[in-house]
Chains A and B, each alone.
Chain A
Amino acid sequence: MTDAPESLKTTALHALHRELGARMVPFAGYDMPVQYPAGIMKEHLHTREAASLFDVSHMGQGFLTASGGTNVAAALESLVPGDLVGLDAGQTRYTLLLNETGGILDDLMVTRAADDSWPGAVFLVVNAACKDADFAHIAEGLSGQATLTRAEDRSLLALQGPQAATALARLDPAAATQSFMTVRKATIDGHDCFVSRSGYTGEDGYEISVASDGAEALARRLLQEPEVAPAGLGARDTLRLEAGLCLYGSDIDTETTPIEAALTWVIGKRRRTDGGFPGADRILQQLQDGPPRRRVGLKPEGRAPARAHTVITDEAGTLIGEVTSGGHGPTVGGPIAMGYVDVAHAKAGTACNLVIRDRPVRAEIVKLPFVPLRYYRG
């Protein structure tokens, strides 16, 4: 057993990953498990059939505390297009940090505190690779209105799959009927947690924020449940791709707007009228006139995976776009991809070609997701 390379950070579960036989890879500055001995395919299928435990502690967690009488949710609306003022206590929204031209700085989860006992009025979870920049951007943007406190001492465990509720409810009975996209405080096997009913696999499940000094014990306890097996970042990637969910840095970045990314639904109804978020002029113009290109699903014929940066052409061979995520979908049982195409070719059912190793492979524009989403709808 070797230690992580010195330049990489580790999570509180690092020793457990090693003990479980994980293959570790560098990801966003962390030494993370890409897979365990079962392998990506089995870990993916187990998540769709039972429940898997993922270490997502590399992601950034933080709390926003109001300065004076500020409404933190209202203040944060100056940075994102979501309706945060309309969030109920304990409710979560998926939203986007935008730059001045409407490009996406990151995607994130924003939760309004359920009550005053939380460490802040708003709880944030952002991507690992973006967290330093995100938190600096938020702290600066809300300067004088709110204080950002990074929760560096917390880990994050994702328990995902159709049997996640059965497994977690044995330790935390309230988990069974917790609403989708809400967070509540809970004590699980003696550990104080924030339990979110959400995830990024397309399945029902939870993301559990726990103090890092209890994270390994909690992970071991969850792995004792008969439904639960460990899964790595490899399976997390194939699961989110099948679910049609964006990977920041691949499918969305500062060059893509929410409209182009087919994330129009994140723009709150009130905000479509009132604007007041970065890049609102361009985004609301695209909302009205349509974007020049759009993110779509792609289903290649045959078995060859089309990876990110594969060129997309129309049937005549004219360039119409590029793949941003692609590979093998274990549940689909074949290659799947997402990418951007000129809007004239974005309609589901349109035929196109993917240029794989200099040869055109026929593909069809398809609706996302590739598998039905199975979130808890109580």
Chain B
Amino acid sequence: MSTLYFTTDHEWIRVEDGVGTVGITDYAQQQLGDIVFVELPEAGRQAEKGGEIAVVESVKAASEVYAPVTGEIVEANAALVESPAAVNESPGEDGWFFKIKIANPAELDEMMDQAAYDEFVAGLD
């Protein structure tokens, strides 16, 4: 059983057995436009909640991706290096960025669930 959380930086984290899979939301990929490059963290790297952990570049500009939680990177989505457009096509599934072993599960409590995130996005337009 996995649980899905969202950040105000438009990242999602799907948590299962203490490991979170992280990506950017559909709203984020729409705002960025055509994604042409993704730079991902290496496995073993220590991430701090809110710290820069990856880079996503659209045709127009580069944007930082922030670690939604503190923990250790256990895997990056190598397929994105050759196929960055997967982030546009499937932001919530194939377009995941990395998996992180969550150090402090209490950090998840501050995040939004799907309904709260949808409301948050609706308030942005």
Confirm or deny: A133 has a beta carbon within 8 angstroms of a beta carbon on chain B: no
Interface mask (B52-92 → A, CB under 8 Å = 1, otherwise 0): 00010111111000000000000000000100100000000
A303 touches B33 (CB 8 A): no
Q: Tell me which residues across on chain B come within 8 A of A304, comparing CB atoms.
A: 37, 39, 57
B84 touches A40 (CB 8 A): no
Residue count of chain A within 8 Å CB distance of chain B: 17
Residues in A lying within 8 Å of B, measured CB to CB: 34-35, 39-41, 44, 234, 238, 303-305, 307, 327-328, 330, 335, 357
* Nearest-Cβ distance from residue A301 to partner chain B, whole angstroms: 13
Interface centre among B36, B58, B59 (most CB of A within 10 A): B59
Q: How far is the CA of A330 from the CA of B59 in the complex (A)?
A: 8
B33 touches A328 (CB 8 A): no
A39 with B37: in contact, given A234-B60, A305-B57, A330-B59 (CB under 8 Å)?
A: no
Q: Tell me which residues across on chain B come within 8 A of A303, comparing CB atoms.
A: 36-37, 81, 84
Residues in B lying within 8 Å of A, measured CB to CB: 33-34, 36-37, 39, 55, 57-62, 81, 84
Q: List 28 contacting pairs A-B, 8 Å CB cutoff, sorted by A.
A: A39-B33, A39-B34, A40-B33, A40-B34, A40-B58, A40-B59, A40-B60, A44-B59, A234-B33, A238-B59, A303-B36, A303-B81, A303-B84, A304-B37, A304-B39, A304-B57, A305-B36, A305-B37, A305-B57, A305-B62, A307-B62, A327-B59, A327-B60, A328-B36, A335-B36, A335-B37, A357-B39, A357-B55
Closest to A333 in B: B36
Choose among B37, B55, B81 the residue that contacts A328 (Cβ–Cβ < 8 A). Answer: B37
Choose among B39, B59, B81 the residue that contacts A234 (Cβ–Cβ < 8 A). Answer: B59
Q: Tell me which residues across on chain A come within 8 A of B58, comparing CB atoms.
A: 40
Closest to A334 in B: B36
* Nearest-Cβ distance from residue B55 to partner chain A, whole angstroms: 7
Q: How far is the CA of A305 from the CA of B60 in the complex (A)?
A: 10
* Nearest-Cβ distance from residue B3 to partner chain A, whole angstroms: 33
* Nearest-Cβ distance from residue A105 to partner chain B, whole angstroms: 27
B60 touches A34 (CB 8 A): yes
Q: How far is the CA of A372 from the CA of B39 in the complex (A)?
A: 31
Q: How far is the CA of A34 from the CA of B37 in the complex (A)?
A: 20
Q: How far is the CA of A238 from the CA of B59 in the complex (A)?
A: 8
Q: Tell me which residues across on chain B come within 8 A of A41, comparing CB atoms.
A: 33-34, 59
Closest to A307 in B: B62
* Nearest-Cβ distance from residue A242 to partner chain B, whole angstroms: 12
Q: How far is the CA of A44 from the CA of B59 in the complex (A)?
A: 11
Q: How far is the CA of A328 from the CA of B61 in the complex (A)?
A: 10
Closest to B59 in A: A40
Q: How far is the CA of A29 from the CA of B72 in the complex (A)?
A: 46
Q: Tell me which residues across on chain A come within 8 A of B60, comparing CB atoms.
A: 34, 40, 234, 327
Q: Tell me which residues across on chain B come within 8 A of A234, comparing CB atoms.
A: 33, 59-60
Q: Tell me which residues across on chain B come within 8 A of A327, comparing CB atoms.
A: 59-60
> 20 additional contacts, CB 8 Å, given A35-B33, A303-B84?
A39-B34, A40-B58, A41-B33, A41-B34, A44-B59, A234-B33, A234-B60, A238-B59, A303-B37, A304-B37, A304-B57, A305-B36, A305-B37, A305-B62, A328-B36, A328-B57, A330-B59, A335-B36, A335-B37, A357-B39
* Nearest-Cβ distance from residue A3 to partner chain B, whole angstroms: 15
Q: Tell me which residues across on chain B come within 8 A of A238, comparing CB atoms.
A: 59
Interface centre among B57, B61, B81 (most CB of A within 10 A): B57
Interface centre among A327, A330, A335 (most CB of B within 10 A): A327
Q: How far is the CA of A303 from the CA of B39 in the complex (A)?
A: 10
